Amino acid sequence: MASLMDNLLDVLNEEESQYRELINLSNEKKDVLIHADIGRLQQITEAEQNITDDLHNLEAKRRSIVSDMAVVLRRDEGELTVEKMIEILDKQPEEKEKLAEVRKRLRNTLDEMIRVNTQNQILIKQAMEMVEFDLTLFRSMRQAPETANYGRDAENTGDLLGRSGFDAKQ
């Protein structure tokens, strides 16, 4: 059981480290979004994908360790959470303290990750709104208003004003 606990602590510490790296990239992404550096944004996205892949592998490893611990403790794997394991470790205060500390750090890291991602989501939304505004403005600048010229059948001819918007002779 001690080696399983050490393995679990190692995996949780590694997960926390990977999430810290994601936070650093997300903070960098915030600056990149503000300055609209698309090339750097692509590099950050690739790095985030690599870290996400590593986190997925760590999660599988953690689940395997928890499954093994459930067998050793004769508990249902579904009910064996970190909280529950902290309760179970009452007779082993050193392991209990280590696990509680790792859980607390991981929880704080995840809370910070949520906060930074929310900020980035708002920045992306604002950037998209600005792009949409710019496109609308650009389109409207390229369209000239129709004149009120009518043909023989009393229908609008659809003639457009010149580029400047004025049709005056000097």
By the 10 Å C-beta count (0-12 exposed, 13-18 middle, 19+ buried), 90 is classed as exposed
Q: What whole-number distance in Å separates Cα of residue 67 and Cα of residue 25?
A: 32
If one counts the domains in the chain, the total is 1
Q: Is residue 35 part of a domain?
A: yes
Q: Is residue 34 part of a domain?
A: yes
Q: Does the structure show a pLDDT above 70 at 79?
A: yes
Domain span holding position 83 = 2-142
Q: CA-based Rg of the chain, rounded to a whole angstrom?
A: 30
C-alpha closest to that of 55 among 4, 10, 17, 90: 17
Q: Does the structure show a pLDDT above 60 at 160?
A: no
By the 10 Å C-beta count (0-12 exposed, 13-18 middle, 19+ buried), 119 is classed as middle
In this prediction, residue 159 carries a pLDDT of 58
Q: Is residue 53 part of a domain?
A: yes
Say what the pTM is. 0.72
For residues 146 and 120, the model is more confident at 120
* Each residue's pLDDT tens digit, 45-73: 999 999 999 999 999 999 999 888 888 88
In this prediction, residue 148 carries a pLDDT of 62
Query: In 24-169, at which residue ranges do the beta strands (DSSP E only) sit?
Result: none
Count CA atoms closer than 13 A to 170's CA, side-chain side: 0
Q: What whole-number distance in Å separates Cα of residue 42 and Cα of residue 124?
A: 14
Q: Is residue 160 part of a domain?
A: no
Q: Supply the CATH number for residue 90's domain.
A: 1.20.58
Identify the three-state secondary structure at position 155: coil
Taking each helix axis as running N to C, give the angle between helix 2-35 and helix 38-73, from 0 to 180 degrees, rounded to the nearest 10: 160
* Each residue's pLDDT tens digit, 16-37: 999 999 999 999 988 888 888 8
In this prediction, residue 143 carries a pLDDT of 64
In this prediction, residue 73 carries a pLDDT of 82
* Each residue's pLDDT tens digit, 109-122: 999 999 999 998 99
In this prediction, residue 92 carries a pLDDT of 84
In this prediction, residue 13 carries a pLDDT of 94
Q: Is residue 88 part of a domain?
A: yes
Q: Is residue 78 part of a domain?
A: yes
